[in-house]
Amino acid sequence: MNTEVTLVVPGHDPISVNAEIAAKLEKALRDYRHTTGTGRDLPAEIVAFLRKHPPSLTVEIARGIRARDAAVRSVLCNDPSFEQPRDVGQSIGRGKRWTLATAPAELVPKPGTGSPRGGATP
């Protein structure tokens, strides 16, 4: 039986190919990504997941984006885009919950506290 599969690549027209060829292409792509460690933007995938599901456990994020726990944990711990909520009620057992880091508020001097060089009056 010769079934066709439609491959959809973002930004391109859909392509119909034989199912056997599609399976071979998929396996080759998985093998390439595995050996080179390229092909994914884990931080971007984690951001997209956390926008929809804040706060989430490390394992929930990993399952949600279909990535290895260790790879997700490494990104979460080393990327300043992510933080653990300060609220004690956010942790469950030994799991750590993560959210998107909040941008620091822009520093604005209070009236009358600026220096004469900065143009503000004392």
- DSSP states of the chain as a string? ---EEEE--TTS--EEEEHHHHHHHHHHHHHHHHHH--S--HHHHHHHHHHHS-SEEHHHHHHHHT--HHHHHHHHHH-TTEE--S-GGG-BTTB-EEEEPPPPPPP-PPTT-S-GGGT---
User: In CATH, what number is assigned to the domain containing residue 72?
Assistant: 1.10.10.10
What integer is the mean pLDDT of 7-13? 80
Looking at per-residue pLDDT, the higher value among 103 and 115 belongs to 103
Looking at per-residue pLDDT, the higher value among 46 and 94 belongs to 46
Residue 108, in any domain of the structure: no
What integer is the mean pLDDT of 89-113? 69
13 — pLDDT class (breaks 50, 70, 90): confident
Residue 115, in any domain of the structure: no
Q: What is the residue-averaged pLDDT of the chain? A: 80
pTM: 0.54
Same domain, yes or no: 54 and 88: yes
pLDDT in tens, 40-93: 788 999 999 999 999 999 999 999 998 889 999 999 999 999 999 877 554 556
- pLDDT above 90: percentage of residues in the chain: 29
What integer is the mean pLDDT of 30-37? 70
Q: Which domain holds residue 7?
A: 1-39
